[in-house]
Amino acid sequence: MSVAKTYDIALVPGDGIGPDVTKAAWAVAEAAAARDGFALTATTYPWSCNYYLETGRMMPEDGIETLRGHDAILLGAVGWPATVPDSVSLHGLLLPIRKAFDQYANIRPHRLLPGVEGPLKSETFDILCIRENTEGEYSGAGGRVHQGTADEVAVETAIFTRTGVERILRFAFEAAKGRRGRVASVTKSNAQKHSMVFWDEITRLVAADYPDVEVTSYHIDAMAARMVMAPETLDVVVASNLFGDILTDLGAAIQGGLGFAASANVNPTRSAPSMFEPVHGSAPDIAGKGLANPLAAIWSAAMMLDHLGEGQASARILRAMEAATARGFGIRPGAQTTDAITDAVLTAINEE
């Protein structure tokens, strides 16, 4: 069969279980690509906490420029707090990539795969969380004065720009158009009367351009309760960087745990590559045991293929994951090895 297209992917396996789940996701992505008549090539970058210990940097000085040449980035997990402080590893690799490539939409799907038992009574929810990924509470604006003295002061200022807020809201409304047509916009505008009132105002302005999308504004505390009590009432949920960060861990919990939580850091303008990664970290407690659940990374790879325009291969991976979990693979922590779960997904791909 002639190959229609080849995509050039940067693999950054990272630390702990990162390399195991990246290997699994790559094998599944390649198998789906073969079935759908396109090819993937990988360049692997060893950027990680070990790399930091050897070189003093999480990635080389030209790391961003090196990544820029790829069609997409598939990342495992970064962090090894026993040897490198998390503030160093996060600010040395993940955050610079998200910011340099303007990956302003962080997309995280939350639903139960067949056979997976979540902690809630509701099993029918299907939520797409969209988190602003480049500014807000994680802008990094601030500082500390009088350090180490009794008069020490720490200031961290959230930055909300009209451009940043409007574009993430538009992204959410567009996503809702292709789903069930509902947007939940999350703020805390009763208490935060500047930035969050601003967010609510822009929500109303953007909503006027989408008369077919139903929009509701929620406060973050009420949204946290709703995700537990009535998650089936939610479709697209859009929130700031901090609120989205917290809500998507809740989302991961209600979908059965971090082993199932996938994410995409997307630059919708496509002026730079987007990055796809599981929500989980390097899991030092199970690293090296071959027990990591690869489904979150595999789902992230499916999101990557969808972003690259290979929707058919992406859907193929999701069907194969569902077939594997319906057969009992990957649904209970530690019940099968990473390889056994990956093989179950590969088998399902090849059976179709």
Catalytic residues: 138, 188, 221, 245, 249
- 296 near ligand NAD, rule: CB under 6 A: yes
Which of these segments, 73-81, 205-213, 310-318, 339-347, binds ligand NAD (CB under 6 A)? 73-81
Shorter beta-carbon distance to ligand NAD: residue 94 or 107: 94
Q: Are 279 and 77 in contact (CB under 8 A)?
A: no
86 lies in the binding site for ligand NAD (CB under 6 A): yes
* Sequence-distant (≥ 6) Cβ neighbours of residue 348 within 8 angstroms: 319, 320, 321, 323, 324
In the list 61, 62, 212, 285, the residue contacting ligand NAD (rule: CB under 6 A) is: 285
Q: Please count the residues of this chain forming the interface with ligand NAD, following the rule CB under 6 A.
A: 23
Per CB under 6 A, 330 contacts ligand NAD: no
Cβ distance to ligand NAD smaller for residue 75 or 196: 75
CA pair distance 262, 266, nearest whole angstrom: 13
How far apart are CB 38 and ligand NAD at their closest, in Å? 27
- Burial of residue 224 (CB within 10 Å: 0-12, 13-18, 19+) is middle
280 binds ligand NAD (CB under 6 A): yes
Say whether residue 19 binds ligand NAD (CB under 6 A).
Answer: no
- Going from the C-alpha of 325 to that of each of 111, 262, 329, 334, 348, the distances in angstroms are 13, 16, 5, 14, 10
Among 79, 92, 244, 256, binds ligand NAD (CB under 6 A): 79
Nearest to 291 by CA among 240, 342, 249, 327: 342
Residue type, 50: N
Of the listed pieces 217-225, 236-244, 292-300, 310-318, which binds ligand NAD according to CB under 6 A? 292-300
Positive/negative CA dihedral, 206, 210, 213, 214:
positive
Q: What does residue 9 show for φ and ψ, rounded to 5 degrees? A: -110, 135
Residue 229-268 contact track with ligand NAD, rule CB under 6 A, x = bound: -----------------------------xx---------
Query: What token pair was written down for 235?
Result: 């479709």
| Residue from 333, 337, 340, 347 binding ligand NAD (CB under 6 A) | 333
SS3 annotation, 198-243 = HHHHHHHHHHCCCCCCEEEEEEHHHHHHHHHHCHHHCCEEEECHHH
Question: Are 105 and 130 in contact, with CB atoms under 8 Å apart?
Answer: yes
Contact between 78 and ligand NAD per CB under 6 A: yes
Which listed residue (13, 109, 273, 281) binds ligand NAD by CB under 6 A? Answer: 281
Q: Can you tell me which of 25, 29, 292, 341 binds ligand NAD, judged by CB under 6 A?
A: 292
Does 189 participate in binding ligand NAD (rule CB under 6 A)? no
DSSP letters, 290-351, are T----HHHHHHHHHHHHHTT-HHHHHHHHHHHHHHHHTTTTSSTTSS-HHHHHHHHHHHHHH
Closer residue to ligand NAD, CB minimum distance, 280 or 307: 280
Question: Which residue number, 203 or 282, has a Cβ lying nearer to ligand NAD?
Answer: 282
For ligand NAD, which stretch binds (CB under 6 A), given 101-109, 135-143, 219-227, 285-293?
285-293
Closest C-alpha to 200, from 214, 209, 190? 190
The reply to whether 201 sits near ligand NAD by the rule CB under 6 A is: no
- The residues that touch ligand NAD, with contacts defined as CB under 6 A, are 17, 21, 77-81, 86, 94, 258-259, 277, 280-286, 292-293, 296, 333
